Amino acid sequence: MKKTIIVLIAVMFSVFLSAISEGAVLTPTPSSIRIPRGQASLIVINYKLTGVVTSDCIMTSPSGRFDYGAFGESNSMPLNINVKNGAGSVVEALSIPVRINDRALKNKINSFQYSRTFTGCDGDLSSAVNINITTDAASDFNINRINLYFENKRAETTVERNFPKLRAYADIRFVGSGLFQGYWEVDGRMISPVNQHLTYGRSITLLTPDIPSLPTIDPGSHIVRFVITNPQIEMPLPSIVYFVTPKESREMPVSIKLLSPSDKSEVPFSPLQIEWEKPNDSSLFLVSFYYSTDGKPVFSAFVKEGSYMLTNAVLKSYFSSGKEYYWKVKGFDTKVNFSGESLMRSFTFEK
């Protein structure tokens, strides 16, 4: 009798386990894509796994496979899904060589599949992405290449301190049409966002704006990148470097006079009004804050008036109570040419 009960329990557990196992689902996103004919493509596939019985395990796919008619070709790049609490995901940056595109068209096939099988945990799970070959204009919106350079057409340049209107350029090749989003970045800090709807045309050239321009206040090397946030891409983003020498690009104009807070003052850690005289030849100001007299800015802001308010949001994000900060102001004329600079002052936030 006991043996019968034990066997019955084992059978029931096996059926229960099998039922949950059958509920495991592997979903690729996107499930279907369109690529342009006659060229290589780079696409991003997100594999999402749910409903796995085993809470912590690994599912492995040693390779993927392109299938077009009676022909096929393997992609030897392995992928692993780390399963936690019955679910997991992994992203694949899939490169589709132009030869696969051409072979499919030569065999009069306008679509093919890319498939993967993951093994482990509760067994084997397979998925497939349908790939349709079409024209550049009808393809899914995607970025094929990005190239950065300065006006000298190189990835590096040297300028003198306060050199005006240093510009960087980005040549971007794309297919399809869609909303393009990203931002220019210098030393890890965003200086200018880009939001633009791109219509089929294969390429576009972007350049950094006049306001704010690439900063040339601080001597030393500075790294420029253009970060793409839409469409999603997995290609490495290039970077370029410019070096600012200590030598001024021209004689320093008349200094801007700082008003408040006074030098070496101690102020409450609360919204703080920063003020300076507004010269007649300056219509735009850059106020910058530093940890030291020779460091890089902790925070900077462009304003058109002779004052700037450090709000609670800015204080919480960039400043700390009980610390000393240095600050100065630079002026620019209506053509965004450098027109003046203040001396440096300091203040300390109370604890």
Helix (H, G, I), strand (E, B) or coil at 183: strand
| DSSP class per residue in 64-130 | EEEEETTEEEEE---EEEEEETTBEEEEEEEEE-HHHHHHHHHTT-SEEEEEEEEEETTEEEEEEEE
pLDDT at 234: 74
pLDDT at 250: 65
Query: pLDDT tens, 315-348?
Result: 999 999 999 999 999 888 887 777 788 888 999 9
Distance separating the N- and C-terminal Cα atoms of the chain: 77
What mean pLDDT value characterizes the chain?
85
Output the pTM of the full model. Answer: 0.52
Same domain, 146 and 227: yes
Helix (H, G, I), strand (E, B) or coil at 5: helix
**Under 8 Å between Cβ of 76 and 142:** no
CATH number (domain holding residue 97)? 2.60.40.10
**Under 8 Å between Cβ of 172 and 204:** yes
For the chain, percent of residues with pLDDT exceeding 70: 91
For the chain, percent of residues with pLDDT exceeding 90: 42
The C-alpha angle with vertex 341 and arms to 337 and 344, in degrees rounded to 5, equals 150
Of the candidates 248, 269, 294, which is a domain's last residue? 248
Residue 5 is assigned to a structural domain of this protein: no
Query: pLDDT tens, 227-260?
Result: 999 998 877 889 999 999 988 776 455 578 999 9
Containing domain of residue 299, as a range? Answer: 258-349
pLDDT at 282: 85
State the pLDDT confidence band at 12, using cuts at 50, 70 and 90: very low
Same domain, 314 and 338: yes
Region of poorest pLDDT, from 134-138, 182-186, 227-231, 236-240 = 134-138
State the pLDDT confidence band at 184, using cuts at 50, 70 and 90: very high
Residue 232 is assigned to a structural domain of this protein: yes
Of the candidates 181, 213, 248, which is a domain's last residue? 248
Helix (H, G, I), strand (E, B) or coil at 19: helix
Same domain, 125 and 43: yes
Rounded Cα distance, 115 and 130, in Å: 9
Same domain, 76 and 162: no
pLDDT at 85: 86
pLDDT at 334: 83
Same domain, 151 and 232: yes
Q: Residue 67 above 70 pLDDT?
A: yes
State the pLDDT confidence band at 19, using cuts at 50, 70 and 90: very low
Same domain, 273 and 224: no
Residue 4 is assigned to a structural domain of this protein: no
Of the candidates 79, 102, 134, which is a domain's last residue? 134
Rounded Cα distance, 18 and 132, in Å: 36
Question: Cα-flanking dihedrals φ and ψ of residue 19, to 5°?
Answer: -65, -45
